[in-house]
Structure 1
Amino acid sequence: MTKSIVCLQPLTSEQQDLIRAAAPDYTITLGDAKNPDLALLADAEIVIGWAKGISDTLLRQDSPLRWVQTWSAGVEKLPLERLEERGILLTNASGVHAEPITAVILGFMLMFTRNLHTAMRNQLNRRWHSDGSESELTGKTAVIAGTGAIGSETARIAKAFRMKTIGISRSGKADDNFDEVYTTDKLSGAVSNGDFVINTLPLTDETRMLFDADMFSAFRQGAYYINIGRGATTNTGDLMDALNSGRLAGAGLDVFEKEPLPEDHPLWDMEKVIITPHCAGSTDRYADRIVEIFTENLKSYLADGEPNRNKVDYSRQY
């Protein structure tokens, strides 16, 4: 039987050729995540991407599936328990998003410090106004929850603005881009030092609703909150309370508990909030970076039986 790779996302002919060159004994076929071909997936040994309605086909007892490469960094929407039970190798897209998401994070920070968000609203109303509260990033502190590729790159760029950077991670392992790194149990103490608190965390059992009323009460008065991780790591009601009370000066949000954010949601009308539609990681270079990671892993898979980059730890859910 021909060994099969099925990609559920569009790839250019050049990107497909890179995969073929790495695995000449395999076929590479493009599918459609919105309308997946179950017959095609039934014979796949390797799948790039994921889609609704394909679990039973891919995870049946006699399925040849051995490896799934996701199209995103987050894996919370996949049937992790079933994948683990079947011994399926799972790799994510960690590392693809660092540059574009860092740009969005710094964009939020610059907009808030320079009051560009209010300037844009004033422009729509042809209003020439400044309340004189413009500030700058120099000398301010960024507390970044998550010191992976996105958090580390954000800290590196923040250093160019002469900011202090504090990282939070499970391990507390030092990183050259951070002045200090603490373990997750020190988060509530660390956020009290932040002019900006940046959430880059994945959604796991440990991080669900991590940012709640208690956490926001520990923030420095007048701090800003930025979430580009996962919406369900934050209690939206508690966040709005912190904004309305003045505890928080503003929030830059790319992710939400419910997406798309409903048209009647009160967040839309909050002048302290900047909203982007879960597009912080989007870039015209996305597929190129996925293919780069995948082909490197594919060579390792063929040589050693498993990929060597971005393997998901089922016990940690990321």
Structure 2
Amino acid sequence: MTNAPRILVHTSDPAPMLERLAEAAPGIEARGHDDYEGLGAVLAEFRPDIAYSVAFRGREGYPREALLGAHGPRWIAVGGAGVDHLTPWDAGAVTVSNAAGVAAPMIAEYVLGAVLHFTLDIDGMAADRVARHWERTRLMTPLKGKTLLIVGLGHTGQAVAARARAFGMKVIGTRARPQPMENVDEVHPADALPGLWGKADITVLSVPLVPGTRGLVNARALMAMKRDAILVDVSRGGVLDGAALVNSMRTGHLRGAALDVFETEPLPSDSPLWGLDRVILSPHCSAVYEGWAMRSFALFLDNLGHWLRNEPLFNIVDPQRGY
């Protein structure tokens, strides 16, 4: 490693980060690039040692080949948690880190907000308001005593578990290496999922997109869920089979679904998901809040300190595991 690395900041608005970098590490040569196009030429001319990069226009067209090519950096610091837009890479040639955990609290709030949307029947009350109808028999559905299944007990899953526990829910979940966890009643291996789908009143997907999770929630999994279950997907597009979900919703199998990620983003205007009732669609924004970008960059600066001191980096991603 070098004590004076060249750093490329690849975001939609690199100026604030370049300013913060100059304050935190004066003397380091840095450059910004705010587009997917032209990145290869910038890399060839600037030859950065490190690139801080955000997939700010989604996976489609992301300049993966340029970043992992001959002129790419030795360390790519991804500004988000997901790295499937870079997979696969040679871990012997380049180190990839992520910003896992930065957005976990916000995503957890999105999850609970989506769940409450359905348990409180917000759509029904809105329709009654429009119709000026006073429904005397309306009942609320309490979360206390409900079973929440979290598929993927990483940073986001653990943040969801903590909030679910505050509502008095029973929390079960899966992780690659099961071990007792705070706020989780049962921790299971991923291969136990076929026996868990039917136990949950609410299922939250918060796993990375890797070969083992692609299509994880398929027609069989959806049919194994309770007929009045709620599904919330804050994982990555491709974990949930969108066509299978459409069929489940059309047959009334699930109470509701909240989707923040999709196999194709932006979601095409002709997607049947747009026309479904009892579905919340959001534009991959559950992790986006005011100040998130600079918070993620602050995490990178902490890691940069490790690089400059020749200390091990944190949040390094295993390309085989995807996290």
Q: TM-score, normalised by structure 1?
A: 0.89
Q: Find the counterpart in structure 2 of residue 33 from structure 1.
A: 35
Counterpart among 244, 255, 258 of residue 261 in structure 2: 255
Q: After superposition, give the CA deviation of every residue in 1:24-73 in whole Å (9 maximum; x if it has no partner).
A: 44223221134444443231110011564644544444x36210011221
Amino acid at match of 2:99: A
Amino acid at match of 1:152: Q
Amino acid at match of 1:29: R
Q: Find the counterpart in structure 1 of residue 182 from structure 2.
A: 176
CA contact (8 A) 1:209 1:234 kept: yes
Q: Find the counterpart in structure 2 of residue 74 from structure 1.
A: 82
CA contact (8 A) 1:117 1:274 kept: no
Q: Find the counterpart in structure 2 of residue 106 from structure 1.
A: 112
Please tell me the root mean square deviation across aligned C-alpha atoms, in Å: 2.3
Q: After superposition, give the CA deviation of every residue in 1:218-264 in whole Å (9 maximum; x if it has no partner).
A: 21231111111112111112112222333311111111122222223
CA contact (8 A) 2:238 2:263 kept: yes
Mark the runs of 5 or more structure 1 residues left unpaired by the alignment.
Answer: none
The whole-number CA distance in structure 1 between the counterparts of 2:111 and 2:91 is 37
Q: Find the counterpart in structure 2 of residue 312 from structure 1.
A: 317
The whole-number CA distance in structure 2 between the counterparts of 1:53 and 1:247 is 37
Amino acid at match of 1:32: D
Q: Find the counterpart in structure 1 of residue 200 from structure 2.
A: 194
The whole-number CA distance in structure 1 between the counterparts of 2:127 and 2:271 is 19
Q: How much does 1:214 deviate?
A: 1.2
The whole-number CA distance in structure 2 between the counterparts of 1:127 and 1:153 is 39
The whole-number CA distance in structure 2 between the counterparts of 1:74 and 1:213 is 25
Q: How much does 1:284 deviate?
A: 1.0
Greater mean alpha carbon deviation, residues 249-258 or residues 28-37: 28-37
Counterpart among 14, 19, 22 of residue 21 in structure 2: 19
**SS state of the match for residue 246, structure 2?**
helix
Amino acid at match of 2:35: A
Aligned-pair identity in percent equals 31
CA contact (8 A) 1:33 1:50 kept: no
1:56-67 correspondence runs (5 A) = 56-61=65-70, 63=71, 65-67=73-75
Q: After superposition, give the CA deviation of every residue in 1:266-290 in whole Å (9 maximum; x if it has no partner).
A: 2222221111111111111212221
**SS state of the match for residue 204, structure 2?**
strand
The whole-number CA distance in structure 1 between the counterparts of 2:36 and 2:320 is 29
The total of aligned residue pairs comes to 312
Q: Find the counterpart in structure 1 of residue 58 from structure 2.
A: none
CA contact (8 A) 1:68 1:88 kept: yes
The whole-number CA distance in structure 2 between the counterparts of 1:173 and 1:25 is 45
Question: Are 2:272 and 1:266 aligned?
Answer: yes
